[in-house]
Amino acid sequence: MSLLVRGGLVATFAPERVERADLRIRDGLVRERAATLAAEPGETVLDASGCLITPGLVCAHTHLYSALARGMPPPAAAPANFVEILERVWWRLDRALDPGSIRVSARVGGLDALACGVTTVVDHHASPSAIPGSLALVGDELGALGLRSVLAYEITDRNGPDGARAGLEEHRAALAGTSATRAVLVGAHASFTLSDGTLFDAAALAAEHGTGLHIHVAEDRADVDDAVRRGFRDPVDRLARAGALGPRTVLAHGVHLGPAAFAEIRDAGSWVVVNPRSNANNAVGTAPFALHPGVNAALGTDGIGADMLEELRALYLAAQATRAGMGPREALGYLAAGHRMAGALLGVDLGGLGPGSAGDLVVFDYDPPTPLTAENLAAHVVFGLRTAQLRDVVAGGRILVRGGAATGVDAAEVQAKGREQAARLWRRMAEL
């Protein structure tokens, strides 16, 4: 199957580049890139004239299991802090998940990702009452939509030793099925819900399979306080001493980390994924963006949908509000880092849009009102580009969204299934 994307202005983020180019995608990869390419017999042609093409976006940290949480009844007693938000909202929701609701939440969340131009989802899954096979459910739903995934299960000791063991075991099966469309990290909830034994087992499992951890780190002060009580500088220190840092380890948030932790993360080549909208929503503080230069820092949504352009603006504004010295180019660097991170985990170039790169791209109906060049691309993305302008999405050379509509799935049916499963899920939550 061959696809010719013709007539568009192709923008890439690292380094910033803007160029009129045609792209030929075959067998999932870009094979040719030139100013003009002639259509070959039998080739599908996607006319992107007058449009801006970017690489498919990466959401570097999310929780698809929360896709059915929108509008659910609030807990009887309002949470007063971050740990209470977990206990009264998210840990009740994840305990109520069953295979049916896991599937449908992945489908609803995956469809939302597609609608936002996200072609790779880095998911952090939890369903303590239905652990075995849950990663395959999520991965299969995303795969059926044409999305790439990086999966992980949130191992934790908060549901007892059997729950921790089941979480570890869930990765063994999933790790066997990795490819350029599906990678697996060993997930862990957060340092403050992990015993030493479970953390060591998770790190050992990751090492055994040549992969890394995906874990929340210092999202709230409580995680740091817990690590200090255990005799560590902070959770990064604890992870480092457990052998859990490395170039394939993903640390979500890092809101309450200092220069020593970031130096350690930088030296280990690990990834930090910031989620500014979630941090604001949970009132946990603002990430120390000024400590990120030199660190691999990417962007996620932490379950608040998949709109990476909205998240990027939130990142930029949060950084401005804290005088972190971030310009549009540094902000765009977080999206580019997502391509590098997921690309390294999946073993494919996700951000290059050149020969050999993944055939993952987004066509935006973006007609710039001011000159658009490589030098000011970042400002156009941060201040101008909107998800509402998204026209087409291609992943692995397949057109998944055309003219704003998903091609391979009945979106109305998915949403109807979502409403049905959400109502059941909320009833089960009320009974817990």
For Zn ion, the binding residues (CB under 5 A) are 252, 302
| Residue 223 vs 302, nearer CB to Zn ion | 302
| Residue 131 vs 252, nearer CB to Zn ion | 252
CB 46, min distance to Zn ion, A? 35
CB 174, min distance to Zn ion, A? 19
Amino acid at 373: T
CB 118, min distance to Zn ion, A? 16
Cβ distance 264 to 237 under 8 Å? yes
| Residue 113 vs 252, nearer CB to Zn ion | 252
CB 63, min distance to Zn ion, A? 6
Cβ distance 6 to 17 under 8 Å? no
Cβ distance 65 to 126 under 8 Å? yes
Taking CA atoms, 392 is separated from 8, 114, 361, 403, in Å, by: 12, 10, 8, 6
CB 65, min distance to Zn ion, A? 10
Cβ distance 37 to 2 under 8 Å? no
CB 188, min distance to Zn ion, A? 12
Closest residue to Zn ion using C-beta atoms = 302
| Residue 64 vs 252, nearer CB to Zn ion | 252
| Residue 302 vs 307, nearer CB to Zn ion | 302
SS (H, E, C) 249-313: CEEEECCCCCHHHHHHHHHHCCEEEECHHHHHHHCCCCCCHHHCCCCEEEECCCCCCCCHHHHHH
| Residue 43 vs 87, nearer CB to Zn ion | 87
| Residue 237 vs 302, nearer CB to Zn ion | 302
Cis peptide before 15 (omega within 30 of 0): yes
Q: Identify the H or E element spanning 360.
A: none
Neighbours of 399 (CB within 10 A): 18
Taking CA atoms, 17 is separated from 242, 288, 341, 363, in Å, by: 41, 28, 20, 16
Task: Tell me the C-alpha distance between 430 and 86, whole Å.
Answer: 16
Q: Map residue 80 onto helix, strand or coil.
A: coil
Amino acid at 214: H
Cα dihedral across residues 171, 172, 177, 180: positive or negative: positive
Task: Tell me the C-alpha distance between 266 and 283, whole Å.
Answer: 26
CB 124, min distance to Zn ion, A? 5
Q: Which two tokens stand for residue 209?
A: 């399979």
Task: Tell me the Cα Rg of the chain.
Answer: 21
Angle at 28 between CA 22 and CA 33, to 5 degrees: 20
CB 374, min distance to Zn ion, A? 34
CB 94, min distance to Zn ion, A? 12
| Residue 86 vs 164, nearer CB to Zn ion | 86
| Residue 10 vs 287, nearer CB to Zn ion | 287
